[in-house]
Structure 1
Amino acid sequence: MRKFRIITLLFLLFFSFLSGCNSPLDKKVKKEANEKEEHKTTKKDTQLTQVSMETVDQSIANQAKDQILNMEEVIEVKAVNFNNELYVAAKPEHHERFQIKKLKKEMKQTLEKMYPNLKVYVSMDKKILMLLDKLETKIKNKEADKKEIKKQLKVVKEEMHSDI
């Protein structure tokens, strides 16, 4: 009876070891590698469409980012401007989280003074920061046309209004 327990225990340990070696993370890594391979093969096709994309001037957004980064309370800033709108997302220092409304109001007032002819949207939400970061990267790499930028900014605007 004792040998049976030992054999069963060893058998269970062996199978748990084998099942641990095939984790879902490995599958995810393989899937991402396959997607990168597919992206490399289609990269030649996307280069043709990039020529037709118009560049969207982000000088206003860059100036706004510089202005906000000069504030001591802010660590990171992402900004995108399109038409007559300026979208800004900032990451405050950890200890400044308690005064986030005051900081947000101060940022918005500063930007509205700098750009009175623009509609300014300011957020301290991490999700908005990530969305603007992705969009900013696409604009820099000229991977987004005006329709896509407008679509993404509509999503950002909806998310900003949901956190009010």
Structure 2
Amino acid sequence: MKPIIYTEGDATRPQASGPLIIAHVCNDIGAWGAGFVLAISRCWKSPEKHYRQWARGQIESAPPFALGEVQFVPVDETITVANMVAQHDIRSDCGLPPIRYDALDKALEKLGTHALHLGTSVHMPRIGCGLAGGTWSKVEPMLLSHLSQRDVQVTVYDFSPV
């Protein structure tokens, strides 16, 4: 088991060498325009482009655009962005936050399998806990189960401009 590394910094500028995945949570309505995705779009255009195409059903080889699915978008020779669909809509519904923990659990399982297959580390902000409205005490055990306990190195970034 590899413990989760917590650090201050910018998850779009991972503090690692070698192949890596930057993971984040997306919504299930195809909207991209607030939160961490803005930082991703400032660095690379392809994750947003591919996400929007996926949401519109324009990528035939992709899994269905649905809660719990993940889209892996290579952005350079060593970095891949994981668009994990684990947020329903963009607003609270009947007092429930947009995060869907069951979908996040499925997405993290797929992320762990992909990271193991490629031999990558995984880097992320505190996924699901910003605009999605989740709590870290529910997210962290999923990271431990699907990534850390499978010997995937995870680094979680609390934003601090570098």
Structure 1 or 2: larger strand share?
Answer: 2
Q: Which has the larger radius of gyration?
A: 1
TM-score using structure 2 length: 0.26
TM-score (norm 1): 0.25
Q: Which has the larger share of helix? A: 1
